[in-house]
Structure 1
Amino acid sequence: MTSLRRFLVISVLSALMLVNFIAALHGYRASMAEAESLFDQKLSEMAAQFAAMPLPDFESPPSADDQQMVFQIFSAKAKLLWRSSHAPAEIISDELGFGEHNFNDYRWRTLVYENPDSGRRVVVAERVDQRYRLAESVILESIVPVVLILPVAGILIWLIIGHGLKSLDVLAKILRRKSPDDFGAVKVDGAPVELQPVIQSVNSMLSRLSASFERERRFSADAAHELRTPISAIKMHLHNIREELPSGSESLGSLSKDVDRLAHLVDQMLLLHRTTPDHYPAKFEQISLENLAREAIAECYTDFAQKQQTIELDGDVARVDGDRFALGILLQNLLNNASKYTQQGGRIELITQTRGAQVWLTVADNGPGISTEAQRRVFERFYRLGGDRHSSGAAGCGLGLSIVEHIAELHGAKIVMATGLDERGLAVSIVFPVSLTAGKNSQASLGAGKSLRRGSREEAQ
């Protein structure tokens, strides 16, 4: 049963119908017995009246009747004195008292009564089917209202149970309204005793989650200090060793690359932890993606220049509600990935577009691209296309796009991957929903001048 309310209503109604059925059956049988007693009493009274009537000693003409009740009156010498028109001429029964007999194609309830003073014998009979029909009509009139009231009872039970389960709805609404970083205790005013264990269990779970997240935050802060500090010291020692050893030492170069990779891994792991949507302390504001993209390009300028790559910024004025720090990390990761995996002298383009109720931020390149199957895995942590021996030779740890996914989720955006520039390479698009204020500001800016549809380009060669 998927609905507790429906289960309770059906169960209560079923129990109510069963009890009513048993009560009605018992009442029917008792009522029929009582009706039989009343009908028999009526026959007894009628027989006594006939026995006391003054009648001649010769047979009188038959009396008219209603075909449902007949009588016979005999003298003490068993001579028929009077009968109803539908009663047979022969005596119906010789046995005193009540009985049942068949005649005139019906079953009859009979009573043979004898007057002790005159010896006169009276036989009265009543059709059994008529007796049952009359009794059942009376009894059913009292049972039918009980059956008809069941739908009304069902509605009342539904409303009453709904009122009783209202505290569950209140608890559900409180839990739905809680933010991901709110681990405060849940309080439901007027909660019934049965719901208290559930509330206590929920509060206990929230308390444990709060302690767990606090431990993670402490780990992040401790890891940032404990890991970055020795790495910085190692870099310093490497610099000193480089001054002492002959230039061009292959081992020293490899060691330097490994230390740089380790530093990059630590930074990415900490960023991955910090950008988790469940506990990232986001500060949303109106942000121009165009200006943020310019800043990200400037920060990554050295990487583009070393590989003689061309970077272009194009598109519409686009504004979104977002966290500046998180979106900056998102752009840097996308640009770094594009630079790493695009060949020497390749081309990268960063595009911002407003499409209806959405803002598209796209980073496209003309590198080797990735297969459709690999696109489904690139957001997995520590996954690198081709593993650590990627053909590009670029150092990485496979966390960049996982961080991008976290930040996109934080902003309610989705990620779309497609073919990049020149019918090759890779294009990664972040699709943001446009807020009401952002949409208005964007339209106003576009109306002010479409010359911002980027004639400006930044190139590093």
Structure 2
Amino acid sequence: MSSIRLFLIASILAILTLFNFVAALQGYQASLREAEQLFDNQLYQTAKLIANLHTEQIQTPPSPQNNLAYQVWHNNQLIATSSPSLRKPIIELLPGFDHANFNGYRWRTLVFYDDNHNNWIIVAERSDLRYMLAESVITQAVLPILLGIPLAGLLIWLIVSRGLKPLRDLSEQLKNKQANDLTPIAIPDLKSELKQVNHSINALMRRLGSALDREKRFTADAAHELRTPISALKVQLHNLREEVPQGNEAFAQLEAGVERMQHLVEQLLSLYRSTPEEFSHQMTRLNLYELAQEVIANQHHDFEKCNQLLELEGDNCFVEGDPFALTTLLQNLLSNANKYTPPGGQIRVTTEAVGGHICLKVEDSGPGISPTDYSKVFERFQRLSHIKDVAAVQGCGLGLTIVKHIADLHNARTSIAPSSFDTGTAFIILFPRTPDSHD
């Protein structure tokens, strides 16, 4: 059973029902014994009453509804009976209680010897009628217990629900916490059973916060510390270029390695800046189309060098976002398209309103990505090996990771699809649409 509430209620009700059943059964059996004793005592009093009435030679008219039968015997002669058909002894003349069958019924019998008149008195009462009466009385006593079980179930439900309220409050606080909120959870008047759980959760948050701080410091410190020697290397390479023959392959590889290292450092810094702790929540209303124009203008020379056709289509679409983060997102998408689109290829950026979203699409005519690899491209340091000459393409495998991370910070959905060109890939970012997203 997946619900603690249902488990507790079902268990308590099962135990309560079991105990009520056992108690009702014991009470039923005990009540039957007491009723039997009462009826037997009544039968004995009836026998004494008959003995004192001097019923000799008195015949009682037969009554099919009568539940009582009697005989009075004196010296083996029947001197009184409740029915003319009862001419033989109902039961053997031995003092005490017993059972007998006659007239189609089972009867409880009592043989009583009257010392004063030397008479044997036999009194019989139908067993079925006395059981019916006893069961009627007992049922009226037991029925409230059985009917009280549903009411007890309702009360147990309310009590258990009330008892689980602190657990619901704890769950609600956890659910409402933001991704960057690692502050301790404080619930007033927390029950003792949940104090340890709350303490463990807060301890976990402290450890998680410490781990994130260490990762943040390491990324920032490593990136900043690497910038200085990289800058020094670039200065030395610039000075060395005049002394190295034109077209030296080793020198070209050295320059490419330094550029790659600088690119990796810059990407690490971008990834660090876009973490929830550093991300600015003071989002502004941005025109996504105009932002794309600015980024394309700044990076247009990269596409011109590769003789690539870069197009911007769509309308003015507005989103709530951070300017720096969205600029980084567009730069990485365009840089990725520039790297993997062959010379003379096409790249298209589109901004448009689609249903309840604002769509940003960047598609190219490059080699494309296999659908089985769609989920891999957003992983850190992931570079798809099936793409020809991928090693020759400058990159560190962080660009699309940063794109996905920034999109998540803006509550946007990221997806990949084939491009509208003959080959290539389309990266699609769907931002939440606001009432004034399209002007």
Instruction: Give the TM-score, by structure 1 length.
Output: 0.89
- Structure 1 residues 159 and 366 mapped into 2: Cα distance closer, same or farther (>3 Å)? same
Q: Per-residue CA shift, 1:201-239, capped at 9, x if unaligned?
A: 111111111111111221122112222222112212222
- 2:50 is matched with 50
Structure 1 residue 388, shift from structure 2 partner: 8.9
Moved over 4 A (4+): 276-279
Structure 1 residue 23, shift from structure 2 partner: 0.4
SS across alignment from 1:383: coil
- 1:368 is matched with 367
Structure 1 residue 266, shift from structure 2 partner: 2.1
Structure 1 residue 84, shift from structure 2 partner: 0.4
Structure 1 residue 200, shift from structure 2 partner: 1.0
CA contact (8 A) 1:181 1:279 kept: no
- 1:132 is matched with 131
Structure 1, 369-378 or 99-108: larger mean CA deviation? 369-378
- 1:449 is matched with none
Q: Per-residue CA shift, 1:34-53, capped at 9, x if unaligned?
A: 00110011111111111112
CA distance in 1, matches of 2:393, 2:208: 39
CA contact (8 A) 1:71 1:87 kept: no
Q: Does 1:297 align with 2:303?
A: no
Q: Which amino acid aligns with 2:419?
A: G
- 1:174 is matched with 173
Structure 1 residue 278, shift from structure 2 partner: 7.5
Structure 1 residue 434, shift from structure 2 partner: 0.7
Q: Per-residue CA shift, 1:378-425, capped at 9, x if unaligned?
A: 223222233796269321122211211111122122223333354333
Q: Which amino acid aligns with 2:217?
A: R
Structure 1 residue 326, shift from structure 2 partner: 1.0
Q: Does 1:61 align with 2:59?
A: yes
Structure 1 residue 293, shift from structure 2 partner: 1.0
Q: Per-residue CA shift, 1:94-124, capped at 9, x if unaligned?
A: 1011111222222211111122222222111
Structure 1 residue 318, shift from structure 2 partner: 0.5
- 1:334 is matched with 333
Q: Does 1:91 align with 2:95?
A: no
CA contact (8 A) 2:223 2:268 kept: no
CA distance in 1, matches of 2:201, 2:390: 51
CA contact (8 A) 2:59 2:84 kept: no
- 2:324 is matched with 325
- 1:415 is matched with 414
Q: Does 1:184 align with 2:158?
A: no
Structure 1, 177-186 or 378-387: larger mean CA deviation? 378-387
Structure 1, 206-215 or 33-42: larger mean CA deviation? 206-215
Q: Does 1:40 align with 2:40?
A: yes
CA distance in 1, matches of 2:97, 2:367: 109
CA contact (8 A) 1:414 1:431 kept: yes
Structure 1, 361-370 or 194-203: larger mean CA deviation? 361-370
- 2:25 is matched with 25
- 1:16 is matched with 16
- 2:78 is matched with 80
CA distance in 2, matches of 1:45, 1:5: 58
- Structure 1 residues 171 and 328 mapped into 2: Cα distance closer, same or farther (>3 Å)? same
For CA contacts below 8 A with separation 6 or more, give which structure has more relative contact order.
1
1:26-425 equivalence runs, <5 A: 26-56=26-56, 59-65=57-63, 66-75=65-74, 77-85=75-83, 88-92=86-90, 93-276=92-275, 280-386=279-385, 390=389, 393-420=392-419, 422-425=421-424
Structure 1 residue 306, shift from structure 2 partner: 1.8
Structure 1, 2-11 or 241-250: larger mean CA deviation? 241-250
Structure 1 regions of 5+ residues with no counterpart? 446-461
CA distance in 1, matches of 2:183, 2:375: 37
Structure 1 residue 31, shift from structure 2 partner: 0.3
CA distance in 2, matches of 1:281, 1:269: 18
CA distance in 1, matches of 2:55, 2:251: 146
Structure 1 residue 177, shift from structure 2 partner: 1.1
Number of residue pairs aligned between Structure 1 and Structure 2: 437
SS across alignment from 2:116: coil
CA contact (8 A) 1:114 1:121 kept: yes
CA distance in 2, matches of 1:107, 1:278: 90
CA distance in 1, matches of 2:38, 2:390: 106
CA distance in 1, matches of 2:116, 2:425: 124
Structure 1 residue 68, shift from structure 2 partner: 1.5
Q: Per-residue CA shift, 1:282-320, capped at 9, x if unaligned?
A: 432111112211221122123123223232222100100
- Structure 1 residues 392 and 108 mapped into 2: Cα distance closer, same or farther (>3 Å)? closer
CA distance in 2, matches of 1:344, 1:282: 40
- Structure 1 residues 330 and 86 mapped into 2: Cα distance closer, same or farther (>3 Å)? farther
Structure 1, 169-178 or 301-310: larger mean CA deviation? 301-310
- Structure 1 residues 86 and 270 mapped into 2: Cα distance closer, same or farther (>3 Å)? farther
Q: Which amino acid aligns with 2:360?
A: L
CA contact (8 A) 1:340 1:392 kept: no
SS across alignment from 2:392: coil
Q: Per-residue CA shift, 1:104-147, capped at 9, x if unaligned?
A: 22221111112222222211111112211211111111112211
Q: Per-residue CA shift, 1:47-103, capped at 9, x if unaligned?
A: 1111112345xx33344444311011123x333221101662122231011111222
SS across alignment from 2:30: helix
Q: Per-residue CA shift, 1:144-199, capped at 9, x if unaligned?
A: 22112211211121111111111111111111111111111111122211111111
CA contact (8 A) 1:341 1:392 kept: no
Structure 1, 333-342 or 372-381: larger mean CA deviation? 372-381
Q: Per-residue CA shift, 1:241-268, capped at 9, x if unaligned?
A: 2233333322111101011111112222
CA contact (8 A) 1:72 1:87 kept: no
CA distance in 2, matches of 1:3, 1:33: 45
Instruction: Give the TM-score, by structure 2 length.
Output: 0.93
SS across alignment from 1:181: coil
CA distance in 1, matches of 2:84, 2:189: 76
Structure 1, 34-43 or 46-55: larger mean CA deviation? 46-55
Q: Which amino acid aligns with 1:13?
A: L
SS across alignment from 2:242: helix
